[in-house]
């Protein structure tokens, strides 16, 4: 049996009975999330397009990659393409899928789909949501890595996507 405790946009807070692998039943509360796409855009100069975005939940500015929640019935790639245009103002001719990560598996079922976007061009689609305050700029990969080391970049999806792209050989 499951019970929706709260609903906001496409996200629900659900309480349900779950059977553990040990055959012990528990009541577990989960945030049900439609999934998201995270984009590592590489411009013609080989720099990474990043966002400085105000996050009301933590009342701080974060340095992060463009990303967004899937809207029904779009695919993760369609979401990535839409979000790159809306948040960063770019189109990409080349898309590389990097797989997925599960950022909050202890209490949320969200899956984040990771992409590298190349061969960028400026678009007129740049239009943030009402609750978004975003500044767009680009940095060399070494500067981004140093910001992770220095603790200036703490966003997990950004660190995961950057790491996966580097490990897969898409970054120098």
132 or 21, higher pLDDT: 21
User: pLDDT tier at 122 (50, 70, 90 boundaries)?
Assistant: very high
| Average pLDDT of the chain, as a whole number | 95
Render pLDDT for 66-78 as a digit per residue (tens, 0 to 9).
999 999 999 999 9
d(CA 52, CA 66): 10
CA distances from 165 to 4, 6, 81 (A): 37, 36, 18
Give the helix/strand (H/E) hosting 168: none
If you count them, how many residues does the chain have? 172
Provide the CATH number for the domain formed by 35-102+110-167 in this structure: 3.90.79.10
Boundaries of every domain in the chain: 1-32, 35-102+110-167
Q: Is residue 61 within 8 Å of 55, Cβ to Cβ? A: yes
- Give the gyration radius of the chain's Cα atoms: 17
Whether the predicted pLDDT of 172 surpasses 90 = no
**pTM summary value:** 0.94
| Helix locations, the chain, DSSP H | 76-83, 141-149, 156-167
For position 133, what pLDDT does the model report? 86
Query: Average pLDDT for residues 76-97, to the nearest whole number?
Result: 96
Asked whether 121 and 41 are in contact (CB, 8 A), the reply is no
Whether the predicted pLDDT of 131 surpasses 70 = yes
Taking each helix axis from N to C end, the angle separating 156-167 and 141-149, rounded to the nearest 10 degrees, works out to 130
Position 125 scores a pLDDT of: 65
User: What pLDDT shows up at residue 69?
Assistant: 96
Tracing tokens 């899928």 back to the chain, one arrives at 97
Nearest to 136 by CA among 113, 119, 148, 120: 120
pLDDT at 45: 96
**What is the torsion angle, in degrees rounded to the nearest 10, for the CA atoms of residue 101, residue 166, residue 118 and residue 104?**
20
């Amino acid at each position: 049996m499951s019970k929706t405790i709260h609903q906001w946009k496409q996200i629900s807070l659900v309480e349900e009975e779950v059977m553990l692998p040990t055959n012990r039943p528990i009541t577990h509360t989960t945030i049900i999330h439609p999934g998201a796409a995270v984009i590592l855009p590489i411009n013609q100069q080989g720099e990474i397009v990043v966002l400085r975005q105000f996050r009301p939940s933590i009342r701080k500015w974060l340095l992060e990659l463009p990303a967004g929640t899937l809207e029904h019935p779009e695919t993760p790639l369609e979401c990535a393409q839409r979000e790159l245009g809306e948040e960063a103002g770019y189109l990409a001719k080349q898309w590389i899928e990097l797989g997925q990560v599960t950022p909050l598996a202890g209490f949320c079922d969200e899956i984040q789909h990771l992409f590298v976007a190349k061969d960028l061009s400026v678009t007129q689609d740049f239009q943030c949501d009402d609750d978004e305050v975003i500044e767009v700029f680009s940095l060399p990969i070494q500067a981004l890595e140093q910001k992770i080391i220095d603790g200036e970049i703490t966003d997990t999806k950004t660190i995961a996507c950057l790491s996966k792209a580097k490990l897969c050989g898409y970054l120098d």
